[in-house]
Amino acid sequence: MAHHQWFALFLTLSCLLPALYASDGDADPIYKACVEHCQKTGCVENKCFQHCNFSSDGKPVDGPWYLQEPLYLQWKQWDCSSDCQYHCMLAREEEREKVGEKPVKYHGKWPFRRVYGIQEPVAVALSALNLSIQFHGWVSFFILLYYKLPLRADKKTYYEYTGLWHIYGILAMNSWFWSAVFHSRDVELTEKLDYSSAVALLGFTFILAILRAFSVRDEAARVMVAAPIIAFVTTHILYLNFYKLDYGLNMKVCLAMGVAELLTWAIWAGVSHHPSRWKLWVVVLGEGLALLLEIYDFPPYWGFVDAHALYHAASIPLTYLWWSFVREDAEFRTSTLLKKVK
């Protein structure tokens, strides 16, 4: 292709890009006019905020240097334009509600109400709760293995999957931590950290599902299973972080791995005679239904509870049941191995 053709292609693409990011809400002319007015005056209706007196690097637009915006406000990246967008959105949504119209998305997100500067307080609280349930499950698993069940002569556990569940617990807690951070303030960095940790967790649980369901105990065989999945997941995370944060592609990758993992557990629960297989069934069904919430996206009730928040709520009881399955699996394997020894 000649140079000018490349240039034409680039121009076409750059015209299409803003269209991809625009939502119904921010295409609304009343909203647009409000944001424009606000950026000039620093006020929406009677509400005025000081950010509009500062430029984006925190320096005052006019006035002496000591009028710098405090650091604790700068790091949150609340600036004039994001404050204007937020308050214009609330004002516009209030008007829309009065005439009985349903909420619309703004810049790709539902209109959430902030609480103390936290963007999605319900999702943050639920992420924190998930984190604590994961921690409880992880600790109780290790107490069971190292203090309640018998150990081998070399102080190792009889259960062959101890190390794998250990990594799972750490990845899960890491993922919930970044989920809480991301929902309290979404900027590019927190979003990437949340997405990357979620993908890493999903990839690892997929490996774990295959290893446990097929009883892969041999070290070399485990590496053979894990290596291609780790390579794929790593490539995907690098792609999201350093090439393009493609939401559609990420959704497809996560859905494919999630469904493959759930199928692995479900088939195993169907064919094995595991004493706790009903717990597997409940978790697989529950996760499947929760996934529907992620796909069927609805606007937040009272500005707080949306489909994604409910998805996080659903994983709390499922996580509890999940760790109780893991503990019973450890007991089951240990007693089987001990019977063999005797």
Smaller CB distance to Zn ion: residue 198 or 257?
198
- Could you say which residues in the range 136-195 bind Zn ion, by CB under 5 A? 179
Q: For the CB of residue 312, give the shortest distance to Zn ion in the complex, in Å.
A: 6
What x-and-dash track marks residues 264-303 binding Zn ion by CB under 5 A? ----------------------------------------
Cβ within 8 Å of residue 199, ≥6 positions away? 233, 236, 237, 240, 250, 253, 254
Name the residue with tokens 């967008």: 85
Q: What are the Cα distances from residue 211, in Å, to 90, 142, 295? A: 49, 20, 29
Q: Which structure tokens are listed for 295?
A: 């796909």
Two tokens, residue 250: 């990420």
- Residue with smaller CB distance to Zn ion, 134 or 179: 179
Rounded to the nearest whole angstrom, what is the least distance from the CB of residue 123 to Zn ion in the complex?
A: 6
Pick from 131, 129, 134, 109: which is nearest to 120 by CA? 109
Q: How far is the CB of 316 from Zn ion (least distance, A)?
A: 13
- Closest distance between Zn ion and the C-beta of residue 194, in Å? 7
Tell me the site size for Zn ion, rule CB under 5 A: 1
CB of 126 to Zn ion, least distance (A): 8
Q: Pick the closer one to Zn ion by CB: 43 or 255.
A: 255
Residue 47's H or E segment, with its range, is strand 47-48
**Does residue number 319 form part of the binding site for Zn ion (CB under 5 A)?**
no
Q: Counting beta carbons within 10 angstroms of the beta carbon of residue 271, is it exposed (0 to 12), middle (13 to 18) or buried (19 or more)? A: exposed
Alpha-carbon Rg for the chain in angstroms: 25
Cβ-based nearer residue to Zn ion, 125 or 337: 125
In the block, which residue shows the tokens 């119209």? 101
Q: Which letter, b or e, does each residue of 184-201 get, where b requires 16 or more Cβ atoms within 10 Å of its Cβ? A: bbeeeebbbbbbbbbbbb
Cβ 329 to Zn ion shortest distance, Å: 28
CB-nearer residue toward Zn ion: 179 or 197: 179
Residue 48 or 128 having the CB closest to Zn ion: 128
Which residue number is nearest to Zn ion in terms of Cβ? 179
CB of 120 to Zn ion, least distance (A): 8
User: Which among 278, 267, 273 is positioned nearest to 332, based on CA atoms?
Assistant: 273
Task: With CA atoms as reference, report the closest residue to 108 among 167, 236, 21.
Answer: 21
Nearer to Zn ion, 174 or 179 (CB): 179
**Least spacing, CB of residue 202 vs Zn ion, in Å:** 13
Distance CA 207, CA 161 (A): 12
Footprint on residues 231-270 left by Zn ion (CB under 5 A): none
Looking at the Cβ atoms of 195 and 325, the one nearer to Zn ion is 195
Q: Say how far residue 327 (Cα) sits from the centre of its chain.
A: 26
Q: Which residues bind Zn ion (CB under 5 A)?
A: 179
